[in-house]
Chain A
Amino acid sequence: MYSHNLMKNIIRHFNIIYILFLFIFLFPAIYLFPQERHNNCIECHSKFEEEETSPTIEFKNDIHNTSGMLCSDCHGGDPEINAGGNQELAMNPKKGYKPPPGHNEIPEFCARCHSDFEYMKKFNPNIRVDQYENYLTSQHGKLLAKGDDKVANCVSCHKTHGIRKKTNPASAVFANKIPETCSKCHSDPEYMKEYKILTNQLEMYKKSVHGEFLLEKGDLNAPACNDCHGNHGAAPPGVESVHNVCGVCHSGNNQLFLKSSHKKYFDEFGFPECASCHEHHLIKKLTEESLGVGDQSVCGICHTQEDEGGIIAVEMKNIIENFSALRDTCQILSEEVERKGMPVNEIKYQMNNVDSELLKARNIVHSFSLENIKQITEEGTKLAISVKKMANDELKEYQIRRIGLAVSLFFIFLAGTALYLKIKKIDKKNIINSF
């Protein structure tokens, strides 16, 4: 019914002759626009490629395919010729066909396009084209240049024919897939044997605060391997640039560390700055136990109980431990207040501030200045004491309420007893046995 009306309308509005004109003059114009290009490569190759990982199958979801590229755009040859099974005709070197690149040739192979901004900007005007350049400076790239065919190249991480955007969660280089991807080689002791480097990075990373956030809590902003080592220029940061790497996010602590006396000595002795205490990959969350010179202390690695640094370390430990203990007392009190149903809003608000003071106090340790720590904890302690007082006041009020209740219940009991006696008394007179 509806379509019928529509047709009527069209006919009414567009003169039939006009429509004929359109057909006659515009129809051929369609041929002027490019048609979907034939891809005979897939047609033939898919006949003998049945595995999931075969190029023709994997290529279906490849970013190059979805961007409208054909096999020949990388491999050359003529995909449009109907070769009828004649390989020489389709894979004709004269038509640009090249055999698949070897392991060492791949970076250059990809870079033909990916380093050409003129070409790449057609797809994305903001695209990066420095990957190849970066790669050449990476440990991988350097070894590859020396003819090492075990090191990672583009396809080791990005896959060969199933390349996806890094923002695609199915991609091997999606934020939370990166640790797994790097570990394919780096956690294999057999494979890494000849490079003489550790293979426990993934294991350590999973235990680290970064790994916990990225892999367990799903926070895609948490750093993976590439955020510290670089994407394509992957290399361990030099000892003196650790603070810069960590400082990208932990800028406050970085600033404190740079101004501290430790920076100079760490560099002199070749200690890896942040990693000297927090370790690399494990990114240890240090506690008060790490201060001082005890068994679990990191200060104790260099300092002893006798030297000046050791004495300061012990004092730092005591100050922060005291503050932290006071904070815990406040927490317990505030929980008790809440459990007893007393108003807890103000206490909780101030408790947040105490918590952030404690955080500040722990952070200020990176200045390695006793004075700074004293100053921060003093403010925090004042606040905590006021919270403690508020909580105690509430608990006192709670007791007062109890006592008030007891008193009024006693009064009720008194009146009730009197009433009971009165009833007993008048009952003698008033109970009627014949009703």
Chain B
Amino acid sequence: MEERNTSRKSFINYLLGGGFTLVAASFLYPIVRFVLPPKSTEAEPMAVSAGKVGEMHLNSGKIFKFGRKPGLLIYTEQGEYQAFMATCTHLDCIVQFRNDSESIWCACHNGYYDLNGNNISGPPPRPLERLNVFIKDDDIMVSKIT
């Protein structure tokens, strides 16, 4: 009787110790993983890099990823950078830079914007949303205008 009682007691104690160790481990594991920094160490900031300085030709444009949506970066003939949200204000098609007419063109319904993003012909009802461009080190950074 005495022996059975002791073995039962020690079983419970082992179970208790083991159980709590496992619980503690299952709590500690995510915490340790959390504390170790992930591969990409920077939180995605408000500004994104749209490209490197010197990688674009004069009078050209390129599409870059601005958050969930595409943006359009233009390097004008005068050597200025301009950036806009690349979704057409008509039906959300993606616009492109036309170096032949130095304008922004939407292929879907032949809409044109000038290099300030103003709608100049075709169906677009509003100017393109303008973005802020600044150079940081070697990167052409683009951010929302607030």
Contact = CB atoms under 8 A, between A and B. Distances in A.
A and B touch in the complex (CB under 8 A): yes
Contacts of A407: 26
B100 to A, nearest CB: 13
Contacts of A421: 12, 15
A252 to B, nearest CB: 4
Interface string B47-74: 0000000000000000001011110000
Interface string A382-409: 0000000000000000000000000110
Contact of B15 (A250, A252, A418): A418
Interface residues on B, range: 20 to 34
B19 A251 contact: no
B90 interface: yes
Interface string A337-356: 00000000100110011001
A414 B18 contact: yes
A17 to B, nearest CB: 57
B22 A415 contact: yes
The interface residues of chain B, by DSSP majority, are classed as mixed
A249 B26 CA distance: 62
A198 interface: no
Interface in B1-52: 9, 12-13, 15-16, 18-20, 22-23, 25-27
Interface in A321-361: 345, 348-349, 352-353, 356, 359
Given A407-B26, A411-B22, A411-B26, A419 B16 contact: yes
A394 to B, nearest CB: 16
B116 interface: no
Contacts of B107: 251-252
A154 to B, nearest CB: 28
A417 interface: yes
Given A221-B90, A348-B68, A407-B26, A414 B15 contact: yes
A326 B110 CA distance: 29
Nearest to A356: B94
A414 B68 contact: no
Chain A binding site: helix, strand, loop or mixed by DSSP? helix
Contacts of B69: 349, 352
Interface centre among B69, B109, B122 (most CB of A within 10 A): B109
Contact of A414 (B19, B67, B94, B123): B19
Contacts of A247: 110
B22 A249 contact: no
B108 interface: yes
A407 B25 CA distance: 11
B15 to A, nearest CB: 4
A249 B122 contact: yes
Contact of A418 (B19, B122, B123): B19
Given A356-B94, A408-B23, A415-B23, A250 B109 contact: yes
A221 B123 contact: yes
Given A249-B123, A251-B110, A349-B69, A414 B22 contact: yes
Contacts of A412: 23
18 contacts: A221-B90, A247-B110, A249-B122, A251-B110, A252-B107, A252-B108, A252-B110, A345-B67, A348-B68, A356-B93, A356-B94, A408-B23, A414-B23, A417-B19, A418-B12, A418-B15, A418-B18, A421-B12
Given A349-B68, A416-B19, A418-B12, 7 more contacts: A219-B125, A249-B110, A252-B110, A345-B67, A345-B68, A414-B22, A425-B12
Q: Which 6 A-B pairs have the closest CB atoms?
A: A415-B19, A221-B123, A418-B15, A408-B26, A411-B22, A418-B16
